[in-house]
Amino acid sequence: MCSVNPGHCTLIKFIFLLLIIIHLSLNTAESVWPLPQIFIPSPERYQLKPQSFSFGYRRYLDTKHSCSVLDAAFKRYFSILFPGYSYANLITFSVFTLTISLDRHDCEGYPNQDSSERYKLSVFAGQASLNAETVWGSLRGLETFSQLVYQDDLGSYYINKTEIEDYPQFNYRGILLDTSRHYLPVQAILKTLDAMAYSKFNVFHWHLVDDPSFPYQSHKFPDLSNKGAFHPVTHVYTQSDVRRVISYARMRGIRVLPEFDSPGHTKSWGKGQSELLTPCYRGATPSGTFGPVNPTLPSTYQFMLSLLKEVASVFPDPYIHLGGDEVDFSCWRSNPYIRAFMHKMGFGLDFSKLEAFYIEKIVNITSILRKTSIVWQDVFDYHERRRFLSVVEVWKQGCYLCEVRRVVKAGLRVILASPWYLDQPGPTHNWARYYNVWPLAFKGTEKQKSLVIGGEVCMWGEYVDATNLSPRLWPRASAAAERLWSNERQTSCVERAFPRLQEFRCKLLRRGIQAEPLYVGHCKHEYQTV
């Protein structure tokens, strides 16, 4: 066709190229991840300049009652909006202001399961307004605002006229990090918390200890880490480290949920706490090896009360994860004293009843400490006495929605993790596998479905340390983030989500997060080692 009329062909090419540029410009302005519930963009745009952009307070927030969470967020997001610029002492006069208003002043507390993250964002000429019920909702709105700002090819910053009303589909949107199988430096954890905030995750599930190592440094039981950590000095989390992580997470609206998994997964515990684990027998004599926590001794529960009391004082979140998964009964079965205890209790040879006996006592301890317990689904699956349970985390493969349905029919709350195990190596393009998950696609009443409080991405540590943590997580975890935040009907199409996720991945790179590529292509600002 071009050979017939080269001039006409050149004009067509020019128009086509112009349309592509306009299309890309609009996509840049509209590429928010996760997708807001109500999102009304406009082609009308306004230029932003770092020298004349400011954040402001309105309603319940003034110079006498400022908000430390927001003050810190203003500094962070100014550097994200305008890389290379610092918020302090830069503004000479304000031409564009983002004004924050809160329905209630809750800046001094911690986010919790019931915290509202709802916000409303309006962008128009010369200003933008962000209203939220809580400071945690304002943080989500600030993240959305930061993603609306883009640069043209000349380096000028713009934002389009926009109306957004937003809130999460699920209140619990977590990421689990395993710091026992490989120790993760505190800085790697903090970097993950940054990336979590960018994707609007709100729970850091800290699987602190397990069979391989006990890196949590306890004040009451220092030998747990002195003898159970990979190294008692370099591979531990001090009380100062833990406080730093909790504070860093709080400033980003993220809860820190500690997990101390027992009675299984406790080999490292026994190195620093004698008589805690069950001696295994070979015939009539001890074999010299040890199994799960010994549930027959009063000293076991005295120890657990003291340890969990310390944990409850260190971690402010009202929830604690007690584990309870994958308990190997073979050692209990081999021990004559365990068998005698079971006979006395009328358990027969059903060792799941012994585990239930132990878990119920530990749950009661957490209740005394005014903490709500979370357990893995094994506790629900194998135990008849379920009334003492509160929240069950579903992690096994197979028909996981069948399991979700069974749990909610029992009147218990559910966290879904089964479809979001990201620790195994896999190509980044399988992100759609984590996107096409429908947590409520089971037969049940609205009341039962309301018991599904959210989901969690799990990053177990067998093959993961600080060298590959970020690229293994991102951007695949972001696919789960949108599923847990956004409206299912508006985010059911992988093809429509792909360009937004590509753009979001580029944003992660510019913010210093090593996110794997989704496919062939490039980002305007490639990852720079920091």
Domain count, the chain: 2
Position 86 scores a pLDDT of 79
Please say whether the beta carbons of 466 and 181 come within 8 A. Answer: no
Position 16 scores a pLDDT of 39
Eight-state DSSP code of residue 348: T
Using the structure block, give the residue that is written with the tokens 């807001």. Answer: 36
326: annotated active-site residue = yes
Residue 503: which of 151, 122, 46 has the closest Cα? 151
Count of residues in the chain = 530
Q: Which of 118, 149, 166 is the last residue of a domain?
A: 166
DSSP string, 412-465: -EEEE-GGGB--S---GGGHHHHHS--TT-SS--HHHHTTEEEEEEEE-STT--
pLDDT of 15 above 70? no
d(CA 376, CA 393): 5
d(CA 408, CA 395): 15
Look up residue 55 and give its two tokens: 């954040």
Q: What percent of the chain has pLDDT over 70?
A: 91
Is 502 inside a domain boundary? Answer: yes
Of the pLDDT bands very low, low, confident and very high (cuts 50, 70, 90), residue 384 is confident
Is 431 found in the same domain as 377? yes
Of the pLDDT bands very low, low, confident and very high (cuts 50, 70, 90), residue 229 is very high
Position 8 scores a pLDDT of 43
pLDDT of 62 above 70? no
Is 46 inside a domain boundary? Answer: yes
Burial level of 284, CB count in 10 A (0-12/13-18/19+)?
exposed
Look up residue 498 and give its two tokens: 């792909």
Is 2 inside a domain boundary? Answer: no
Catalytic residue among 326, 360, 384, 403: 326
Is 343 found in the same domain as 254? yes
Neighbouring CB atoms inside 10 A of 420's CB total 24
Please say whether the beta carbons of 183 and 215 come within 8 A. Answer: yes
Of the pLDDT bands very low, low, confident and very high (cuts 50, 70, 90), residue 199 is very high
Is 227 found in the same domain as 97? no
Position 61 scores a pLDDT of 53
Is 130 found in the same domain as 212? no
Mean pLDDT, residues 440-466 taken together:
97
Residue 213: which of 259, 257, 182, 191 has the closest Cα? 182
Q: What is the Cβ-side half-sphere exposure of residue 167, based on CA atoms within 13 angstroms?
A: 10
Please say whether the beta carbons of 214 and 183 come within 8 A. Answer: no
Position 27 scores a pLDDT of 43
Burial level of 194, CB count in 10 A (0-12/13-18/19+)?
middle
d(CA 360, CA 366): 10
Please say whether the beta carbons of 139 and 199 come within 8 A. Answer: no
CATH code, 57: 3.30.379.10
Q: Which of 107, 138, 166 is the last residue of a domain?
A: 166
Summarize pLDDT for 84-142 with one digit per residue, the tens: 887 765 555 678 999 999 998 888 899 999 999 999 999 999 899 999 999 999 999 99
Q: Dihedral sign, CA of 74, 78, 79, 84?
A: negative
Mean pLDDT, residues 209-216 taken together:
98
Look up residue 383 and give its two tokens: 């135990």
Look up residue 88 and give its two tokens: 């302090």
Is 315 found in the same domain as 187? yes
Using the structure block, give the residue that is written with the tokens 């840049």. Answer: 28
Look up residue 257 and give its two tokens: 């949920």
Burial level of 68, CB count in 10 A (0-12/13-18/19+)?
exposed
Using the structure block, give the residue that is written with the tokens 């094994």. Answer: 378
Round the average pLDDT of the chain to a whole number and report it: 91
Is 176 inside a domain boundary? Answer: yes
pLDDT of 22 above 50? no
Please say whether the beta carbons of 101 and 131 come within 8 A. Answer: yes
Q: What percent of the chain has pLDDT over 90?
A: 85
Of the pLDDT bands very low, low, confident and very high (cuts 50, 70, 90), residue 423 is confident
Phi then psi for residue 38, to 5 deg, are -125, 120
CA–centroid distance for 304 within its chain: 27
Element (H, E) at 164: strand 157-166
Of the pLDDT bands very low, low, confident and very high (cuts 50, 70, 90), residue 64 is low
Residue 41: which of 161, 209, 201 has the closest Cα? 161
H helix count then E strand count, the chain: 18, 17
Give CA angle at 80 (79, 82), nearest 5°.
65
Whole-prediction pTM: 0.92
Summarize pLDDT for 306-360 with one digit per residue, the tens: 999 999 999 999 999 999 999 999 999 999 999 999 999 999 999 999 999 999 9
DSSP string, 89-103: TT-SS-SEEEEEEES
Position 105 scores a pLDDT of 82
Look up residue 62 and give its two tokens: 């003034």
Q: Which of 166, 183, 201 is the last residue of a domain?
A: 166
Is 288 found in the same domain as 153? no
Position 94 scores a pLDDT of 73
Q: Which domain holds residue 94?
A: 38-166
Neighbouring CB atoms inside 10 A of 24's CB total 13
Eight-state DSSP code of residue 67: -
CATH code, 400: 3.20.20.80
Is 465 found in the same domain as 427? yes
Residue 39: which of 498, 518, 485 has the closest Cα? 485
Is 114 found in the same domain as 61? yes
Is 150 inside a domain boundary? Answer: yes
Is 180 found in the same domain as 161? no
Eight-state DSSP code of residue 383: -
Please say whether the beta carbons of 258 and 208 come within 8 A. Answer: yes
Is 184 found in the same domain as 159? no
